[in-house]
Amino acid sequence: MSLKKLVNEIKFRTGTAKCTEYLELVQRVLDGQASRSQEVYLKRHQKMCLKCLERFNIDQEIKKLIQLKLASREVPEGLAEAIKTKIAKSA
Amino acid sequence: MEESPTKNDYTNQAKDKIFNEEFMPHIRAMYNFAHRLTYDEDDAKDLVQDTFMKSYRFINSFQQGTNAKAWLFRIMKNSFINDFRKKSKQPTKVDYQEVEGYYNSEGTQKAVTTDLRIDTVKNLIGDEITNALAALDIDFRTVIILCDLEGFTYEEMAKILDIPIGTVRSRLHRARNLLKEKLQSYAQSMGY
Ligand SMILES: [Zn+2]
């Protein structure tokens, strides 16, 4: 690893890299698809950067809202039966 | 997706078992996905029926015990694009930026600086979320549905949508920014 790369890597891990460097982690953490260490790097950055912390909280709130407020519809009556009948006929 | 290299040769009995035990339990998720794609009850019913018929017809390329839900969602997405989208005269828009490495582009930095605030978001009601999502272009709406509502992983989404995982992430990122813009304009018009 080159020295520059190494320095960037250390910055990233200690949370002191530029905000844009953490965008991908924000998404991964939000969606529960980050590794343990990735979560730690982001947390370190958010401890020092309120802007990123706030953005993350907003994204998280919107995600929760989508899950809570978008009603799940019941399957229309008879649909499952209609499908099974159609398949029985075709088989 | 989840296709075995060699096609299976299930007996009729095995087919019915897979269909009833692995496919049918997802009917509610399927119906909801269909409804969020079409916003029409009859179209949604047709799309669900069509998807299940196809799933049965191609059941030999499904590997028993693998991710049936993702497999079904992929069939539905393709059916919708190939059949329903044509019928409904929805224009296909390809005017959005979608390159890997999107995260570091200027557009991203600009897009994340919306003035949306946390208390504003908490004041939003279901209708506003529903409308904002409905107003999104279908490709953007789809990634939000798959990720936030259905909880698919990026990897599963890549398979369902037939796009690279990097594109899944950048599309999702862009979709969320667009959604935020819509929500913000609702909030403004409501005087929050
Ligand atoms: Zn930051």
Question: Residues B128-182: pLDDT tens digits?
Answer: 899 999 999 999 999 999 999 999 999 999 999 999 999 999 999 999 999 999 9
d(CA A16, CA A89): 64
Best to test chain B binding among A22, A64, A65 (most B CBs inside 10 Å): A65
A8 touching B (Cβ < 8 Å): no
pTM of the full predicted structure? 0.86
In the predicted model, is pLDDT for residue B9 greater than 80?
yes
Contacts made by residues A66-72, CB under 8 angstroms, sequence distance 24+? A66/B129, A66/B133, A66/B144, A66/B148, A66/B149, A67/B148, A67/B149, A69/B124, A69/B125, A69/B126, A69/B129, A69/B130, A70/B126, A70/B129, A70/B130, A70/B133, A70/B149, A71/B126, A72/B28, A72/B32
In the predicted model, is pLDDT for residue B102 greater than 80?
no
Of A23, A65, A75, the CB nearest to B27: A75
Question: Residues A1-59: pLDDT tens digits?
Answer: 799 999 999 999 999 999 999 999 999 999 999 999 999 999 999 999 999 999 999 99
Res. B88 pLDDT band, cuts 50 70 90: low
Residue with token string 């018929």: B53
Contact B56, A90 (CB under 8 A): yes
Q: Do B121 and A33 touch (CB under 8 A)?
A: no
A88 touching B (Cβ < 8 Å): no
A9 touching B (Cβ < 8 Å): no
Res. B4 pLDDT band, cuts 50 70 90: low
- Residues of chain B by 3-state class (helix, strand, coil), percent to 5: 70, 0, 30
Question: What is the maximum span of chain A, computed from C-alpha positions, in angstroms?
Answer: 69
Q: What angle do CA B151, B170, A1 make, to 5 degrees?
A: 110
